[in-house]
Structure 1
Amino acid sequence: MFGATKDLQRTRHEHEHHRVTFIELFFDLVFVFAITQLSHSLLKHLTPMGALETGLLFLAVWWVWIFTCWITNWMDPEQPVVRLLMLALMLAGLLMTTSLPEAFEDKGMLFACAFVAMQVGRSLFMLWALRRHNERNYRNFLRITAWLTVSGAFWIAGGLSEGAMRLALWGVAVAIEFSSPSLGFWTPGLGRSTTADWDVEGAHMAERCALFVIIALGETLLVTGATFAELPMSVGVVTAFGASFVASVAMWWIYFDAAAERASTHFARSDDPGRIARLAYTYIHLPLIAGVVVSAVGDELALAHPDGHVDVKSAVVLLAGPALYLFGDLLFRRVTTQRFPRSHLAGLIGLAVLAPLATGLTPALLSVATSTLLVAVAASESLSRRREARSAVSAP
């Protein structure tokens, strides 16, 4: 059935971008579950070590998703064989996701095997699909496969180990995977790739990453709604619930009111879309998505004990979520639109000012304070965009 490959690459037309297909959206459902698993794991292990382990797993989850995003940017998901690849990746992703809460316990090997199967298996598929149709990208995937094979050995070795050794080996694996794109996947005998080699359809990748932001924000609403439904009604609970919802809306507004569309337009028109895809979407979206995940944990803490004492751990989580999000969006705007949003910097300063005051507030009030700062940033950005629009209309 698949003995001879035809060209499975997307057909591109000038001034058009590929819509996100239903199979891509179906694939993303696994990562809705993954985000939920990660936020619950962090909530259950709210210690420095728990945060480190959850952070490492978060990096792995993001990495396997963004690599698949690159693949569907090149390959046509409507082709049956590409669709079968996506479904196989879905199955492996579901196995990986189910193992997340116990990845540093009894299910480390399951996590490692599922992750490596996705990373290496997908790259081997690309070698098969590209070998007669795109020599430059075929060589690129020879390099990628070599790097993923090396990192895969550390993932598997970590799965076979325990405790601190597992964390160390998986840390090396993450370092290898995350450094490889910035090093051009340099491989002996094959040299290195350049961003010009990565022929990216910018609008499609921008839309895919925007949808992942929606997935993460949806998870915060899921956590908030599920927790609120199980709690007795009180002023503190309602206050924390309202603040959590407002924060989610503000985060959506900050990213989607203008930044996502402007970034997509700049991306599509760039002379070097591979550089933007690597920096703004592969790397810089990490703190942005992490901010949403940590905010979801903060929302659950505030809902569970709205009128209690804010301990140091709760204060860190409630402040770190919005801070990570604003920092990530600031970097994203700086790279994709060459703007430095001063509103984001003001928001980060406001969070820093709140930090020494946090333990004197209740969780509900701290949640209200951080939500208010996010709303102020969103409002400032909207007003700034509208002033720019009026100036552009009135300009001769």
Structure 2
Amino acid sequence: MTTENTEPGAEEIGTAQSVRPLELFFDLVFVFTMTQVALVLSELPTLAGLGRAAALLVVIWWMYGGYAWLTNTLDLDRTGPRLLILTGTAGFFVMSMTVPRAAEEGPWAWLFGASYLVVVAVHMVGFIGTSGHRGILRVGPINLGTALVVLAAGLLPPHTRPWLLALAAAMVLVTPIVTRVGGFTVGVGHFVERHGLAVIIVLGESINEVGALTSEQHEARTAVVGALLALALSAAMWWLYFGREDRESEVRLGQVPADRRPRVAVYSFGYAYYVIVLGIAVAAVGMEKSIEEFRHVSHGVQAVLLPLGISLFLAGLAGFHRALAGTWPQARLWAVLVVAALVAPAAWWGSGAAALGSALVVLLGLIMWEGHHWDQVETSKPG
């Protein structure tokens, strides 16, 4: 990606420096979208359900990120841009409503595709007259093609739907590679803050879902203990990102030369962040299933949703760090293996309580190790 500014760490004139209230309003719809994606997996805890949720989240996250790039360049104090974003918000809302029924026959399937097409069209129009107008000429046509594939999935017979949705997800994933995402501007402070809020939103939604489930439990002890274990797990996931990674990512992204910054942003806040968000969503459903089977052994795919979600989250964090810092965080990669070796067997042969407890032990151990490691690094610095 190329920009007018070539000074490392400098902000482009006209890019947003902080998240505005209208963006938070847009994010409220994204909360609903994540609830709906999680519902797909919760109602169909199988490999097919996992694949469908993952593919849906690919195309949804791509456009959520696209609007973060768009609002990075817009003056939302003006009426025109405000109405534009509100129109995109409406499209996102209708799309969110249809997510759980996108695989059904009837109007719900094509409504998902039609609303996604509206979201993409508004996104393209929004870049007209901004510093990203050259970039959208590269990315926009593929986005439009992806939206048409999603729409076709809703109009054609149901047996073709999984394949077309997989094609749309593949188109999204190769877009940055094919286009090299040139011609956009990245305002570092706004960009990092907006994506950090997305993590909080998804974590918050997982807590809401677990709280709603436990409030329906008949046995108070199971409800309270299960809810507290799930809350502690969510808090540990929050700590692993916001303890250091969030603020350090802003510094690292700001140090990237302006002409390379958008490409780095795509790999860190696009690809890696997708794995982070997917991991949180899968882990949230895994927490729900663990509480439902708190004293019993789980079976099938639902037994491994919690360790799978935690592993995806940790792997996403490792990829995020690698994209920005250039090195792999070894402790987090080892933690993925520990989760597979400890939490997965606990879920498969133990109980929901054992799965939640062992997952919490792994994350707390990682937090303590990293805290001790960074204390040593700070102590060893001169002065």
TM-score using structure 1 length: 0.88
The equivalent residue for 1:321 is: 309
Instruction: Kindly indicate whether the alpha-carbon contact (under 8 Å) linking 2:59 and 2:169 is maintained by their aligned counterparts in 1.
Output: yes
The equivalent residue for 1:99 is: 98
SS in 1 for 2:117: helix
Deviation at 1:391, TM superposition (A): 2.0
Structure 2: distance between partners of 1:178 and 1:79:
33
Out of 261, 276, 287, the residue aligned to residue 299 of structure 1 is 287
Structure 2: distance between partners of 1:237 and 1:372:
20
2:379 matched to 1:384?
A: no
The equivalent residue for 1:190 is: none
Counting only pairs closer than 5 Å after superposition, residues 134-149 of structure 1 correspond to structure 2 as 134=131, 137-149=132-144
Deviation at 1:386, TM superposition (A): 2.2
Instruction: Kindly indicate whether the alpha-carbon contact (under 8 Å) linking 1:319 and 1:351 is maintained by their aligned counterparts in 2.
Output: yes
Higher alpha-carbon deviation: 381-390 or 56-65 = 381-390
The equivalent residue for 2:5 is: none
Aligned residue pairs, count: 368
Instruction: Kindly indicate whether the alpha-carbon contact (under 8 Å) linking 1:220 and 1:293 is maintained by their aligned counterparts in 2.
Output: yes
The equivalent residue for 1:250 is: 236
Q: What letter corresponds to residue 344 of structure 1 in structure 2?
A: R
Instruction: Kindly indicate whether the alpha-carbon contact (under 8 Å) linking 2:36 and 2:96 is maintained by their aligned counterparts in 1.
Output: yes
Deviation at 1:353, TM superposition (A): 1.2
2:264 matched to 1:276?
A: yes
Structure 2: distance between partners of 1:17 and 1:113:
30
Deviation at 1:336, TM superposition (A): 1.3
Q: Percent identity?
A: 26
Q: What letter corresponds to residue 310 of structure 1 in structure 2?
A: S
SS in 2 for 1:180: helix
Out of 147, 154, 160, the residue aligned to residue 165 of structure 1 is 160
The equivalent residue for 2:116 is: 115
Out of 206, 215, 227, the residue aligned to residue 213 of structure 2 is 227
Structure 2: distance between partners of 1:215 and 1:109:
28
The equivalent residue for 2:196 is: 210
Q: CA RMSD in A?
A: 2.0
Instruction: Kindly indicate whether the alpha-carbon contact (under 8 Å) linking 1:237 and 1:364 is maintained by their aligned counterparts in 2.
Output: no
The equivalent residue for 1:285 is: 273
Structure 2: distance between partners of 1:295 and 1:228:
16
Structure 1: distance between partners of 2:368 and 2:74:
39
**Cα distance 1:264–1:316, how it changes in 2: closer, same or farther (>3 A)?**
same
Q: What letter corresponds to residue 374 of structure 2 in structure 1?
A: R
**Residues 159-192 of structure 1, C-alpha deviations (whole Å, 9 max, x = no match):** 101323122122222222221122116xxxxxxx
The equivalent residue for 2:21 is: 22
Instruction: Kindly indicate whether the alpha-carbon contact (under 8 Å) linking 1:237 and 1:306 is maintained by their aligned counterparts in 2.
Output: no
Higher alpha-carbon deviation: 313-322 or 252-261 = 313-322
Deviation at 1:13, TM superposition (A): 6.7
Deviation at 1:123, TM superposition (A): 0.3
Deviation at 1:209, TM superposition (A): 0.8
The equivalent residue for 2:358 is: 369
**Cα distance 1:314–1:155, how it changes in 2: closer, same or farther (>3 A)?**
closer
Instruction: Kindly indicate whether the alpha-carbon contact (under 8 Å) linking 1:257 and 1:382 is maintained by their aligned counterparts in 2.
Output: no
Deviation at 1:329, TM superposition (A): 0.3
**Residues 337-393 of structure 1, C-alpha deviations (whole Å, 9 max, x = no match):** 23422221221121121234542211111111011111111222222222222222x
Deviation at 1:151, TM superposition (A): 2.1
Structure 1: distance between partners of 2:326 and 2:142:
32
SS in 2 for 1:380: helix
The equivalent residue for 1:188 is: none
Deviation at 1:12, TM superposition (A): 5.5
**Residues 107-158 of structure 1, C-alpha deviations (whole Å, 9 max, x = no match):** 110000000111123202323x34xxx5xx4332222222223223212211
Instruction: Kindly indicate whether the alpha-carbon contact (under 8 Å) linking 2:91 and 2:116 is maintained by their aligned counterparts in 1.
Output: yes
Structure 2: distance between partners of 1:224 and 1:358:
18
Structure 2: distance between partners of 1:234 and 1:307:
13
Counting only pairs closer than 5 Å after superposition, residues 178-217 of structure 1 correspond to structure 2 as 178-184=173-179, 194=182, 197-217=183-203
SS in 2 for 1:183: helix
Structure 1: distance between partners of 2:333 and 2:266:
24
Counting only pairs closer than 5 Å after superposition, residues 54-93 of structure 1 correspond to structure 2 as 54-93=53-92
Q: What letter corresponds to residue 378 of structure 1 in structure 2?
A: I
Structure 2: distance between partners of 1:138 and 1:334:
29
* Higher normalized contact order (CA 8 Å, seq sep 6+, divided by chain length): 2
Structure 1: distance between partners of 2:25 and 2:125:
22
TM-score using structure 2 length: 0.91
SS in 2 for 1:253: helix
**Cα distance 1:164–1:13, how it changes in 2: closer, same or farther (>3 A)?**
closer
Deviation at 1:54, TM superposition (A): 1.5
**Cα distance 1:383–1:70, how it changes in 2: closer, same or farther (>3 A)?**
same
Structure 2: distance between partners of 1:181 and 1:327:
21
Higher alpha-carbon deviation: 321-330 or 43-52 = 43-52
**Residues 209-248 of structure 1, C-alpha deviations (whole Å, 9 max, x = no match):** 1110001100111012111212133544433222211110
2:256 matched to 1:267?
A: no
**Structure 2: tracts of 5 or more residues without a match:** 1-9
